[in-house]
């Protein structure tokens, strides 16, 4: 699916030494000040690593069916939903205990995202070339669209009227009217698009994994407005908790780029070897915990100093990650 990107990332990562101060394995002192559990989806192990946010130790290894990739909270945040794409199911976890609470058969859930009004859920089916929209309350299927090629990542308009999906196989973005399931448009973007977010100031921002940039596109018709260079293998985009920055993981370059949210200027680049993929933030916003797809580790990045302060072993090909703070 993404073989060339993986191989390029592996070569780039091998050429990059660990950042100064990085701890190989478990740290000798506390990482996060806030106790929590960090859920890491090991896509090639069919497991979920549950890390202690203070010590970095793995507290549990939860089995899945076949191939988990992404995860989200339920709208009430009482459960975490893990999308097992090859297993064709949602696996629900208690975020405090990591216990499996229930399972639900769902067609090829690769990426998943609830609407801002918390009434709908979009699922991108990368393998089956379909976009599904479900009711958030009972997971009843509302609409199913056959949209080639390789629906990948999802964004929503702030008013929950339109859901946007990158099409990794044909270098396009699709817009779907949520209420009717009508395909509004598809438009070209960069090569091998993956992550996508909606910026109220700028519109759609798409990470192009086959290039070294993100494209800014009109949410009304998908026109490309401009591109912002980050680094090779721009893969996914994560707004900071305070809304001031957008962090772009560059899998091939082995870096993470910070874009200023207001201007989209690239203001800082962090070394992040091992093919950085998904990330989540500590509750205070001072750390980014990111998965290293080819290194089988999770890196902990101090966003103030730029130091990679820990490199924590997990399962094979870690992908989605979620930092859950404990009360």
Domains observed in the chain: 3-16+35-298 (2.130.10.10)
Burial class (CB in 10 A: 0-12, 13-18, 19+), 73: middle
Print pLDDT tens along the chain (327 aa).
343 443 444 444 433 433 334 445 667 678 988 899 999 999 999 999 999 999 999 999 999 999 999 999 999 999 999 999 999 999 999 999 999 999 999 999 999 999 999 999 999 999 999 999 999 999 999 999 999 999 999 999 999 999 999 999 999 999 999 999 999 999 999 999 999 999 999 999 999 999 999 999 999 999 999 999 999 999 999 999 999 999 999 999 999 999 999 999 999 999 999 999 999 999 999 999 999 999 999 999 999 999 999 999 999 999 999 999 998
DSSP label at residue 8: H
Q: Where are the alpha helices (DSSP H) in the chain?
A: 3-15
Q: What is the DSSP code (8-state) at residue 25? A: B
- Dihedral-angle region of residue 117 (phi above 0 means left; psi in -120 to 50 means alpha; beta otherwise): alpha
Q: How far apart are CA 298 and CA 315, in angstroms?
A: 10
- Give the whole-angstrom CA distance, residue 183 versus residue 27: 49
């Amino acid at each position: 699916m993404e073989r060339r990107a993986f191989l390029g990332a592996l070569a780039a990562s091998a050429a990059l030494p660990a950042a100064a101060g990085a701890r190989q394995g478990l740290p000798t002192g506390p990482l996060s000040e806030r106790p929590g559990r960090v859920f890491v989806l090991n896509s090639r192990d069919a497991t979920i690593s549950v890390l202690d946010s203070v010590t970095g130790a793995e507290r549990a290894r939860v089995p899945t069916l076949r191939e988990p990739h992404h995860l989200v909270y339920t709208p009430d945040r009482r459960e975490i939903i893990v999308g097992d794409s090859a297993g064709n199911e949602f696996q629900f976890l208690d975020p405090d205990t990591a216990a499996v609470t229930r399972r639900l058969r769902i067609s090829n859930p690769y990426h998943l995202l609830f609407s801002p009004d918390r009434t709908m859920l979009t699922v991108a089916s990368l393998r089956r070339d379909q976009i599904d929209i479900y009711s958030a309350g009972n997971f009843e299927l509302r609409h199913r669209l056959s949209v080639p090629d390789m629906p990948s990542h999802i964004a929503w308009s702030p008013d929950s009227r339109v859901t946007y999906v990158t099409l990794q196989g044909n270098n396009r973005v699709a817009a779907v009217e949520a209420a009717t399931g009508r395909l509004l448009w598809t438009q070209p973007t960069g090569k091998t698009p993956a992550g996508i977010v909606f910026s109220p100031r700028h519109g759609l921002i798409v990470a192009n994994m086959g290039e070294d940039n993100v494209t800014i596109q009109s949410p009304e018709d998908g026109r490309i407005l401009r591109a912002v260079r980050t680094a090779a293998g721009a893969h996914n985009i994560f707004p900071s908790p305070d809304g001031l920055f957008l962090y772009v993981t560059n899998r091939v370059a082995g870096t993470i780029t910070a874009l200023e949210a207001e201007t989209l200027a690239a203001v800082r680049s962090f070394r992040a070897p091992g093919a950085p993929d998904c990330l989540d933030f500590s509750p205070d916003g001072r750390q980014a915990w990111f998965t290293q797809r080819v290194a089988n580790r999770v890196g902990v990045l101090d966003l103030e100093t730029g130091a990679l302060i820990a490199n924590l072993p997990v399962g094979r090909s870690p992908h989605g990650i979620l930092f859950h703070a404990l009360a």
